[in-house]
Structure 1
């Protein structure tokens, strides 16, 4: 286990460096002048040049990249010239909302997909098997933003069961003070169950909307793996030995089939954190999506680069955890990594 953790950690550091380099190069080859965009079209050339020097844009690219990396590691994430605020403060306000939304969307996708796939594979029938297949096709085919709009029309406007696009908490409700910035977690830590329930209620529709696509993918993947493993010779031998269908499924089929799903789930979590812009727009969610969109349009390097690195860091941590979990479930993975 230690060997596979060290191997995955080394790979993760390379991936993190690659993400940083990609973000750095992509923003600088984009057309336009960041200093000119900040000052506007009527600024003098002298003012633009002075701002370029202040932003470090006149330094050689390797020097800029080195400053970018060392500043990120030291906690100095730069200054947003388009918004006139520290990037650390901006993302400190917005990123927890994106993180909480992504985590709950991932939790919904994983739990719902595993539950339906297990039911469909364990009890084969028209209802238990056909409904999950239909749901997976629907989830993969429907655009998330369209589903979000329809969910708001039905759940909020017509039925009044869910809150509208008004953020993370209703007006007048104070956000729970806590170390994480995740309202549900901070409310639980404070023992404030009323605020926890309210925050969870406001998360429901955005999280389901964002988790719809990964739910469909994980459901199809796990269902196919379950059916494949169920036909393997070792499963048939276990059944021939007189073991119950439930015991064989729980001991042999599910552990072997769920590993590819776990490996894919790490990739999905990273996608959810970086790909929530449209869903945040639909639900007026105060996350980092709109902030990064504005940063891209304004070529606000510090905002976009820091967001990409934070997302890559969380994505790498999630995949490292999933790799270790898969190795704990199936020791053959750990032995293969050690060879």
Structure 2
């Protein structure tokens, strides 16, 4: 087990370092001068040179990367010239919005995948199974941002059922006192039920849009696992003891089919946290995704690098924990790692 942990840690560190290096080089190869964007079009050459020196852009690329690693090693993600704040502070203020949206999307995806997959396998009718496969295929082939735009036009603009792209709360409603940064939880903690409902209502459309892709993957995975589990000998033994088919399905088949779903959900949550850029921009969601887009447009390297680094750390951490959990449950994984 210790050998497996050490190998996974080495891979994790290599992945984080590789992601940092890739983003560092790629950002500096993009057209445009960050110093010019900070100084403005009217700044003279001397001002621009001073800015480039202050930002460390006049050094060779390897020296810049070493300075960046040294800064990160001291727990500092850098300084954002576009906002005038430390990158860690900027990301900290935006992260709760992305976390809340990601949790909503994962919840929608998992619940719908479990319900539709269970119904399709339990009913054992070709129509239900075909409907699930068609729905998952359409979901897999539909860009989330396009679905988001259609949902806004139909459900927000035409019907007025849901709020449009106005952020996390309706105009005029004050955010609850910050505790977790998640408006739904903070509103419940403060006893502001109307604010909770408003925040929840603003989560429905972006959460559903971001859940479309994960639903397609999870529903197919869960359906396949259910179809395998119902053929296991323990299901036949349970039925032979007189237990009804519905009880066997709920108490034995579904729980034994959830383990792959749990591991996949953990990875999808990390992916949603780092891949909600377009959804956040479409809905005007003040999260890390929209922050990243604005930082790219403004050539704010420090913010983009900080977000990519945190995304890599999150993704690697979730993957590492999933590997260790599987190794603890299945001895074959530990044997294969030797």
TM-score (norm 1): 0.85
| 1:201 matched to 2:201 | yes
Quick one: distance in 2 between partners of 1:5 and 1:114?
32
The alpha-carbon distance between structure 1 residues 215 and 90, as it changes in their structure 2 partners (threshold 3 A), is same
The alpha-carbon distance between structure 1 residues 112 and 227, as it changes in their structure 2 partners (threshold 3 A), is same
The within-5 A match list for 1:85-124 is: 85-124=85-124
The CA RMSD over aligned residues, in Å, is 3.0
Determine if contact 1:168/1:199 at 8 Å carries over to the other structure.
Answer: yes
Who is 2:170 aligned against? 170
Q: CA deviation at 1:27?
A: 1.3
1:163-198, Cα deviation, whole Å (9 max, x unpaired): 222110112222122243221232334344332222
3-state DSSP of counterpart to 1:163: coil
Who is 1:297 aligned against? 297
Number of residue pairs aligned between Structure 1 and Structure 2: 337
1:138-180, Cα deviation, whole Å (9 max, x unpaired): 2112221222122223322343332222110112222122243
| 1:318 matched to 2:311 | no
Determine if contact 2:239/2:248 at 8 Å carries over to the other structure.
Answer: no
Who is 1:275 aligned against? 275
| 1:29 matched to 2:29 | yes
Q: Which moved more, 1:222-231 or 1:193-202?
A: 222-231
Q: CA deviation at 1:204?
A: 0.8
The within-5 A match list for 1:1-339 is: 8-41=8-41, 43-126=43-126, 128-231=128-231, 234=233, 238=237, 242=241, 244=243, 245-246=245-246, 249=249, 253-254=253-254, 257-327=257-327, 330-332=329-331, 335-336=334-335, 339=338
Quick one: distance in 1 between partners of 2:284 and 2:202?
11
Quick one: distance in 2 between partners of 1:5 and 1:182?
33
Question: Any unmatched runs of 5+ in structure 1?
Answer: none
3-state DSSP of counterpart to 1:148: helix
Quick one: distance in 1 between partners of 2:332 and 2:265?
17
Quick one: distance in 2 between partners of 1:216 and 1:129?
14
Quick one: distance in 2 between partners of 1:223 and 1:283?
32
Question: Any unmatched runs of 5+ in structure 2?
Answer: none
